[in-house]
A and B are shown apart, each in its own frame.
Chain A
Amino acid sequence: MKFGVVVFPGSNCDADAYHAFKDALGQPTTYLWHKDHDLQGVDCVVLPGGFSYGDYLRSGAIARFSPLMQEVREFAGKGGLVLGICNGFQVLLELNLLPGAMLRNKRLKFLCQYVTIRVENDRTPFTRKGTKDQILRIPIAHFDGNWYAPPDTLKEVEDNGQVIFRYCDPEGRLTPESNVNGSLNSIAGLSNKNGNVMGMMPHPERAVESILGSEDGLVVLRSLLEKIS
């Protein structure tokens, strides 16, 4: 399975993602330059973390207009797998490929720490290798991760099973303290209605080797392979 990591000016987790998919997962992986109009035949597009275009206007607001996003939108429309991590999640929201928007973290602090998240839906291409209620320990690093949507959108997302991960405490309980950034319903990751596009604020690509402190991110990466096997 071939993975493509999109590179925007200001991406800073592109090399981490490349390493995770190529070396930790052992799959052919390529970089995709945002100015191109070519997805190079990849089976899964990864939008990495970082600060595309400096995030000056709004996180992901300018990256959304990059030439390659036209191909990403068509690819997603045809059921292609798209994973947005952190800033990549923000770009997917700005592209309207995922519902809602990001507000600044509730305590107005940049958060760089490990969090625990709970698998809410294990029937998606991104979580097949996990089990419902499984707790994963994965790091976050963001300023704008406070997911928000109007009440009707939130209801739709919940009713459709689009919530993939929620922030939880180490025992899997949803508490105000474990919802570090203030996201509605503690949502840490969500998919589109079809389930082929997912965004998550925690960084699975930073948790793929025990030497890094956690291998829990492999649940997400290995799930993507499951689809074609």
Chain B
Amino acid sequence: MKARILVSFKDSVLDPQGQAVRNALHTLGYAAVRDVRQGKVFDLELGDISRAEAERLLPEVAGKVLANVVIEKYAWQILED
């Protein structure tokens, strides 16, 4: 089974890296880009577990380890059964 976890800063938290990327895009002439938020993608390959187990495991892994919930939010999805 394949799954993906996305981790990014909460909307209330300033993202200096995203800002730097936005500024670079503006310098390159992409004026239409209003804002950029940078985050992390984790692609996980899961062993022989059921979909229900994966649905329990993914938010646990994301909330406990992959994201620091003081500053970050996460989203997860199962890509392939």
Contacts and interface: CB of A to CB of B under 8 A. Distances in A.
Nearest to A105: B16
A103 B70 contact: no
B24 to A, nearest CB: 12
Find the residue from B16, B17, B20, B66 having the highest chain A CB count within 10 A: B16
B50 interface: no
**What is the predominant secondary structure among interface residues of chain B facing chain A?**
loop
B27 interface: no
A205 interface: no
Contacts of A93: 70
Interface string A67-109: 0000000000000000000000000011000001101111110
Interface string B41-55: 000000000000000
Contact of B13 (A94, A105, A148): A148
A227 B31 CA distance: 59
Contact of A103 (B12, B16, B65): B16
B1 interface: no
A150 B13 CA distance: 9
**What is the predominant secondary structure among interface residues of chain A facing chain B?**
loop
A150 B72 CA distance: 12
A100 B12 CA distance: 14
B66 A101 contact: no
Contact of A57 (B12, B17, B66): B66
A101 B12 CA distance: 13
Interface in B20-63: 20
Interface string B1-27: 000000000001110110010000000
Given A148-B14, A150-B12, 15 more contacts: A57-B65, A61-B65, A61-B68, A100-B70, A101-B68, A101-B70, A101-B71, A103-B16, A103-B71, A104-B16, A106-B16, A108-B16, A108-B17, A148-B13, A182-B16
21 contacts: A57-B65, A57-B66, A61-B65, A61-B68, A94-B68, A100-B70, A101-B68, A101-B70, A101-B71, A103-B13, A103-B14, A103-B16, A103-B71, A105-B16, A106-B16, A107-B16, A108-B17, A108-B20, A146-B16, A148-B14, A150-B12
Interface of A: 57-58, 61, 65, 93-94, 100-101, 103-108, 146, 148-150, 182
